[in-house]
Structure 1
Amino acid sequence: MNSRLTRIAAYTTAVVSIFIMGFGLTPTDSSKFSLKDYQVEEGFDLSLIAAEPFLKAPVSLDFDNKGRMWVVEMIGYMPNLEGIGEDVPNGRISILEDLNHDGVIDHSKVFLDKLVLPRGLAHVYGGLLYVDGPKLWFVEIKNDKPGKKTLVDPVYAEGGNVEHSSNGLMMNIDNWIYNANYNFRYQLKNGKWVKEPTSYRGQWGITKDNFGRLYYNSNATQLKGDYVLPNKAIQNKYFKPVISENQKIASDRVYPIHQTSVNRGYQKGVLDEEGFLIDVTAACGPLVYRGGTFPDSYDQNAFTCAPEVNLIKRNVLTFNETRITAKQATEGKEFIASTDEGFRPVNLFNGPDGAMYVVDMHRGIIQHKAYISQYLTEQLGLKKLDTLQNAGRILKITNKAGKLNAVPDLSKASSKELMAMLSHPNGWLRDRAQQILIQRKDLSIVKELNTLAKSSNAYLTAVHALYALDGLNSLSYGSLSSIFNQSEQPETIAHALGLLGRFATVPNVKSMKNLSTQLLARNNTMLDLYLSMSLSPWVRLSGADFFPTLSAIDQKRHAQRLFQEAIVSSLEGKEEKYLQTMNPSDELKRVLTTVLDNHRKEELNPIFVKQTNTVDARTKGLQLYRTICAACHGADGKGIQDLAPPLKGSEYIDGSMKRLASIILHGISGPIHVDGKLYKLNNDMPGMVNNSAISDQDIADIIKYTQNAFAKSPKGIALDDIKKMRAQKPPGSGVFDEKQLLETDFEK
């Protein structure tokens, strides 16, 4: 038996039985579903809890304070292989309910509709934050109906492709809302929305650990993470960290249990000798499990969706003070793997009951038209996967030996009950209890929160208490500084150090200097790291008092580049003075010199100047193709009778790129043979050479798109070559005919 079959056979013997709970659907609806081809890690159950007619094309979800599920339905995504009609406002956000309490959704109602490609939502500040087209909105909720709407960000998802547009909308423990695919974070402060730069993270989906570090991924990288808390390493605007953030922390290897259709399957090294995908190509929707009902060994494991191969990965995270690593939980096996090619897990979430929830978009096409290759288009068509649309599922993963939490109605919980939940094993409950305490503005609990902030436990209750106090505007320099002497938990002190910065005043400098000395004496790696990143506001007040602290950390940790990045983050505007008065390590000196050079050239970390996502070449090429070319050649490139020949199978697409550029620039007059067939066309194809609105880059983008979509073996072209072709006009009418195209040597 070969290795692949051995792996599959071994996996099958370890699979638990998968059951389907009563769906609450009509016989016609339920007959569409079967989970018999799903394999789940031993000890776990997988159940289907929602499907159509209660939802279509789900891509994200969140739970409200009553524990009800709110689902984003991106119905407009790739409605056909040509991707025509995506701008139709048919997306919606629905409330799903289990009215008979049997664990299965039996009722849904639309909260918002007529949305354009909605991608995310979050229950925050007593209302709902959501995406509609390029805009980010906040809407109040009145009896399950939308109330007053506030435009939070008009350019939230402007530019870019839907697969590269901002999403995520996750409230972190620090009271900031973070995103995937966007370099800004949000907070509602004193009745006003605040938007400020943060690091650019990932592509689709974002998650966090108990400490508040962020995790994300891109299509070809299954798991990335930040070694430090958000915004700590980017306080120097002229420095972009390369160690602190955006680190690949896991292998990209996948272990599917069947052959699947993937976008670049024809390229060498994408599939193994048996036709199975080797590495992820569409990783998304990561989740750090914090539900508290799985076995202890699963706590804070990182799970990742791989919809292109119909599986979900499990990674075991290992934390130390300065870095994070992840490894495949079981070599050669995935947490969930399916032979159902319609299984498209795109997002994962912790639930208020401690279960893990899987958003299965359940459709055939998951590759956008701008990126889909001719190879994949043909594969999807042959399998009729393009016909699998407007379906969707929510799946639930539970531990056989564990007991789910009873889902409390947090909207009715007292402040005392909410405070108790800050110590609950379920991270979802801790997070939401913290936010509700802030929204209630109940100052009677401040004293008890201060006591909690000095406690220690595995769930970082003290940190939740700190940020509840922060949200209630009830922190003080005295209450924060007392934590350093009364807490033994480095994680709590790390957060407290960051919060102390808002009290950086001249009268507090002496006390902060003494605190820094005391922390240094502990010789704790995590404390040294966060101290070095938290001194920025104090250094601005008095560099002379805090340079020695940073220098001591540099000398002690000079072999760890992460520390040099942390120190530089605190030295904005003081780099030259530090170099002149201190004796930095070689690495720190190198980084500081680079930062000073960036100052002189006015080269900021791009996150401080970038407002919108850029349009990538293939997306721009698709837009240009549809505007200029599709009317004659067809959206699918198959040509239109009596107007233009097909592009698929055309020697002009598969041949010389310089010749193709010349055709686009100067046009062509028929008749012309394409793929052995004569096309007697009545009209000339006009050239773009005299259109001042079409640049050389536009021509390159059109070629890039047509190559990706229609060519057998995609090729590219340099801008210099397009410029040369622009100047080489054909003789006579200035428009090519077939004879000239065949006789001209475009490659000389």
Structure 2
Amino acid sequence: MKRLRIPLYLTVASLTLFYCQSNKHTINKLVSTATEPEVKVDSFDSSPFLSPQEAMKRFEVTDGFKIQLIAAEPLVSTPVAMIFDDQARMYVAEMTGYMPDSLGTGEEIPNGNIVILEDSDKNGVYDKRKVLIDSLVLPRALCLIDDGILVAEPTNLWFYKLDNDQVVGKELVDPQYTEGGNVEHQPNGLLRAMDNWIYNAKSAKRYRKLDGKWVIERTHFRGQWGITQDNNGRIYYNNNSQNLLGDYFAPGLGAWNKNQKRVEGYNEKAVANNKVYPIRPTPGVNRGYMKNILNDQLKLNEFTAASGPMIYRGDLFGKEFAFNSFVPEPSANLIKRNIMSENGYEVHGEQAYTGKEFIASTDERFRPVNLYNAPDGSMIILDMYRGIIQHKTYLTPYLKNQIGMRELTQPLSAGRIYKVVPTSFSPKSVVLSAEPTALLAYLGHENGWIRDRAQQNIIDRKITSLVPKLKAAMAQTENELMAIHALWTLEGLGELSAKEVVSTIASKPWVIRRQAYAAVPSVISAQNEPEFSRVFAERFAANDTLSAPYLAYLANYVSVYNKKAADDLLVKLAKRYANNPYVADAIISNLQDREDLFEKEIANSVDSKSYLISELKKTSKAASEARKNRNPDILKKQFPKGEALFTSVCQTCHGPDGNGVASLAPPLNQSEWVTGDKNRLISVVLFGLTGPVTVNGHMYQTPEVSGDMPGIGYDDAMQNEDIAQLLSYIRKSWRNNADVVSTQEVSTVRKSLAGRENAFTETELNSRQ
């Protein structure tokens, strides 16, 4: 392939293969933003490994801010997730084994770590490293809780009990934490949210420790890599091609009806604009040869690897940065800023800049994968700092060639952690006091990280002596953030009373009232249900539209003790809000397998053309079709390799029910692409498909689905027999009943297409038939 050449102005310093300087005073000097380019280079073929000093010169940072390097190799390697403790030490997950080369050779080697980094003299630069847990295979998430730490190591979720930075016990919390999904598509995050549950991206599970036992519950399926929350406890995430997605309502509600494909108000496009503005050509993306992926300057047009987002909750950047979101795009070497706003139920954001980014680099190896709020109000960037970030499952020949052209495989030992601060910022030490009265005061702090840690500390240490003052803090309204955190701290201690929740719903401002709604499941009982039903009826009578979705969701908990009261509430809501999608979907979330009965009950009082009736019919139909599906256990025994491959590669985008996932992929269930011509199906699975694509008369295109389905035939380790089993499995699953695919058929198509480097289009495939 001819090497691409285009004039490019870059700063080029000496090529450094390994950075071995551990002197922290050297790092201390690396606190300024990028300088002006120094050298004209007529090729971007080269992407040399840069020392941290050189990499710092490649940044462009928005006016008023600077980047500080606070840790680098050999102190840290391949950081992908982190969390601060009360002394501002960083616990970092090192995914050392990720893609050692373009074949993924040795990924299964247990060389990952959880390390503790410490800034011993409090000057803002980390200088001490302690390995807390070693010999892990691709660790991806961590969470401090109680007297230990949760660590996600596929396929397991472990809890390590700690004493003086030593592991003194180990408990398996979930042996199927990452069931399904390859390295790129496995659960991650472990966000300890405001409601005291732990949520994840690329997952439909949430976790909590109650009465000494770990509890796992179903929740909404969310995101791909990275998860964050705002000051109201709403959850945000994304997928690789979407800037930012999020929930409008409390994260623990509404995921109960398995027949309901989508619940309005969850998995919403919080920021719809996916444009990016790299400051260097970015041909090294998987589909860089495709139309519109790159612009005429060979720069990425839109997100293709959106990663761990962050809602800024600090007290350092200034008021104009309150409720801003930041999203890294490692394939384009940049970090996006969005300005968020709330209107009624909804939260939407707009990009802060046109034609530029908050942070961008001309260094191709700058790979920001996760962002975090810090104790001092700054923003933390985790930079894997390596060339290869695409997993082998989806690594096209085009991208392999790009990797080879610029020698991006080595080295593998690097990793940088940066802090973003205002230009006038000077390093400051932030250490949380352990005193109960100080922790109580922290609940009203302007910095969200401090509020969160204070809440978690009081709960983990079971400081019940604060209960009277927490109740007083919850009752006041001068500091709404303190009232919110006091409420959830009481909930976490088991000291929140139903009376207080009812009173808050009846009389407090909306910002606090919606938190009380979210806390109802924790306190409702047979004894106090009448009080909740009464206050819900009062809010309905007051025509409280903001409360209406919550009233519908909470009918689910009322029904446990008083089914008639719950059903009466749902009927009243249906009559008034039949065309409100948020209320209607909240109603349907209560009605698993009784959608038909409810539709008949309201038929005479609700417009047959309303949104509610339409969605009831869809959900009822989905339930009916699901009952006709083939037995998955039988298919698993018949095609064990096919089922395993579907679970690890296909399920995350097409859904376990084969009905597709919004923003990701169209359905496989009863799709003519699956049940039709075998050679066409084999070709698509081997080498991918670029949209738009028509399935059962409906044209799917971005943003309804991702614009591109990657193929798996580029991976030499993917055996023809396994692919044949995969295709046979999906051709027999759900309501599909097509012929099986043989190993020979896959082999024949694979040989006929040998050397192909680009994905198919629907037009091309149709012309081949």
TM-score between the two structures when normalised by the length of structure 1: 0.78
* 1:284-299 mapped onto 2 (5 Å cutoff): 284-299=307-322
Deviation at 1:143, TM superposition (A): 1.3
Aligned CA distance change for structure 1 residues 580 and 75 (closer, same or farther; 3 Å): same
8 Å Cα contact 1:21-1:47 kept in structure 2:
no
Distance in 1 (CA, whole Å) between partners of 2:547 and 2:498 is 18
Residue in structure 1 matching 2:616, options 592, 599, 602: 592
Aligned CA distance change for structure 1 residues 603 and 503 (closer, same or farther; 3 Å): farther
Residue in structure 2 matching 1:92, options 108, 113, 122: 113
Aligned CA distance change for structure 1 residues 298 and 660 (closer, same or farther; 3 Å): closer
Distance in 2 (CA, whole Å) between partners of 1:279 and 1:33 is 27
8 Å Cα contact 1:29-1:53 kept in structure 2:
no
User: 5+ unaligned residues in a row in structure 1: which ranges?
Assistant: 10-19, 622-655, 665-685, 722-746
Deviation at 1:323, TM superposition (A): 1.3
8 Å Cα contact 2:123-2:429 kept in structure 1:
no
Deviation at 1:389, TM superposition (A): 2.1
Residues 268-307 of structure 1: CA deviation (Å, up to 9, x unaligned): 1111122111011111011111112111111121110100
Amino acid at match of 2:334: L
Distance in 2 (CA, whole Å) between partners of 1:272 and 1:300 is 31
Residues 459-498 of structure 1: CA deviation (Å, up to 9, x unaligned): 632221112111111122222212234422x132222123
Whether 2:247 is the aligned partner of 1:226: answer yes
Aligned to 2:343: 320
Amino acid at match of 1:711: R
8 Å Cα contact 1:23-1:50 kept in structure 2:
no
Aligned to 1:638: none
Aligned CA distance change for structure 1 residues 458 and 259 (closer, same or farther; 3 Å): farther
Residues 483-530 of structure 1: CA deviation (Å, up to 9, x unaligned): 234422x13222212322444445434322321232234434322222
Deviation at 1:32, TM superposition (A): 5.9
Aligned CA distance change for structure 1 residues 589 and 559 (closer, same or farther; 3 Å): closer
8 Å Cα contact 1:286-1:303 kept in structure 2:
yes
Aligned to 1:451: 472
Aligned CA distance change for structure 1 residues 687 and 404 (closer, same or farther; 3 Å): closer
8 Å Cα contact 1:180-1:205 kept in structure 2:
yes
Aligned CA distance change for structure 1 residues 61 and 100 (closer, same or farther; 3 Å): same
Distance in 1 (CA, whole Å) between partners of 2:220 and 2:751 is 33
8 Å Cα contact 2:180-2:649 kept in structure 1:
no
Aligned CA distance change for structure 1 residues 363 and 501 (closer, same or farther; 3 Å): closer
Deviation at 1:388, TM superposition (A): 3.7
Aligned to 1:515: 535
Aligned to 1:682: none
Aligned to 2:387: 364
Distance in 2 (CA, whole Å) between partners of 1:237 and 1:692 is 27
Residue in structure 1 matching 2:588, options 545, 568, 571: 568
More divergent stretch after superposition (260-269 vs 498-507): 498-507
Whether 2:361 is the aligned partner of 1:338: answer yes
* 1:344-423 mapped onto 2 (5 Å cutoff): 344-401=367-424, 406-410=429-433, 413-423=434-444
Amino acid at match of 2:69: L
Aligned CA distance change for structure 1 residues 693 and 215 (closer, same or farther; 3 Å): closer
Aligned to 1:255: 277
Aligned to 1:713: 758
Whether 2:296 is the aligned partner of 1:273: answer yes
Deviation at 1:713, TM superposition (A): 3.0
Deviation at 1:361, TM superposition (A): 0.3
Aligned to 1:628: none
Aligned to 2:333: 310
8 Å Cα contact 2:682-2:749 kept in structure 1:
no
Deviation at 1:615, TM superposition (A): 5.9
Residue in structure 2 matching 1:463, options 484, 495, 503: 484
Aligned CA distance change for structure 1 residues 434 and 697 (closer, same or farther; 3 Å): farther
Deviation at 1:85, TM superposition (A): 0.8
Aligned CA distance change for structure 1 residues 597 and 506 (closer, same or farther; 3 Å): farther
Residues 644-698 of structure 1: CA deviation (Å, up to 9, x unaligned): xxxxxxxxxxxx979999xx9xxxxxxxxxxxxxxxxxxxxx9969x99996568
Aligned to 1:639: none
Aligned CA distance change for structure 1 residues 187 and 211 (closer, same or farther; 3 Å): same
8 Å Cα contact 2:293-2:300 kept in structure 1:
yes
Amino acid at match of 2:67: L
More divergent stretch after superposition (248-257 vs 478-487): 478-487
Deviation at 1:385, TM superposition (A): 1.4
Amino acid at match of 1:282: A
User: 5+ unaligned residues in a row in structure 2: which ranges?
Assistant: 1-5, 11-22, 31-48, 637-641, 651-677, 687-718, 729-739
Aligned to 2:514: 494
More divergent stretch after superposition (398-407 vs 517-526): 398-407
8 Å Cα contact 2:132-2:167 kept in structure 1:
yes
Deviation at 1:532, TM superposition (A): 2.1
Paired residue secondary structure (2:304): coil
Aligned to 2:501: 480
Whether 2:126 is the aligned partner of 1:126: answer no
RMSD, aligned α-carbons: 3.8
Aligned to 1:154: 175
Paired residue secondary structure (2:314): coil
Aligned to 1:172: 193
Aligned to 1:199: 220
Deviation at 1:187, TM superposition (A): 0.5
Amino acid at match of 1:279: E
Aligned CA distance change for structure 1 residues 547 and 708 (closer, same or farther; 3 Å): farther
Aligned CA distance change for structure 1 residues 573 and 385 (closer, same or farther; 3 Å): closer
Aligned CA distance change for structure 1 residues 61 and 164 (closer, same or farther; 3 Å): same
Distance in 2 (CA, whole Å) between partners of 1:705 and 1:271 is 28
8 Å Cα contact 1:51-1:393 kept in structure 2:
yes
Aligned to 1:670: none
Aligned CA distance change for structure 1 residues 31 and 153 (closer, same or farther; 3 Å): closer
Aligned CA distance change for structure 1 residues 343 and 414 (closer, same or farther; 3 Å): same
Residues 69-111 of structure 1: CA deviation (Å, up to 9, x unaligned): 1111111111012211111111111111111221111111111
Distance in 2 (CA, whole Å) between partners of 1:183 and 1:704 is 36
8 Å Cα contact 1:234-1:241 kept in structure 2:
no
Aligned CA distance change for structure 1 residues 265 and 716 (closer, same or farther; 3 Å): closer
Q: Which has the larger radius of gyration?
A: 1
* 1:686-725 mapped onto 2 (5 Å cutoff): 699=743, 711-715=756-760
Deviation at 1:208, TM superposition (A): 0.8
8 Å Cα contact 1:316-1:326 kept in structure 2:
yes
Aligned to 1:46: 67
8 Å Cα contact 2:245-2:268 kept in structure 1:
yes
Residue in structure 1 matching 2:166, options 131, 142, 145: 145
Paired residue secondary structure (2:221): coil
TM-score between the two structures when normalised by the length of structure 2: 0.76
8 Å Cα contact 1:371-1:618 kept in structure 2:
no
8 Å Cα contact 1:57-1:75 kept in structure 2:
yes
Aligned to 1:116: 137
Distance in 2 (CA, whole Å) between partners of 1:323 and 1:213 is 11
Whether 2:81 is the aligned partner of 1:36: answer no
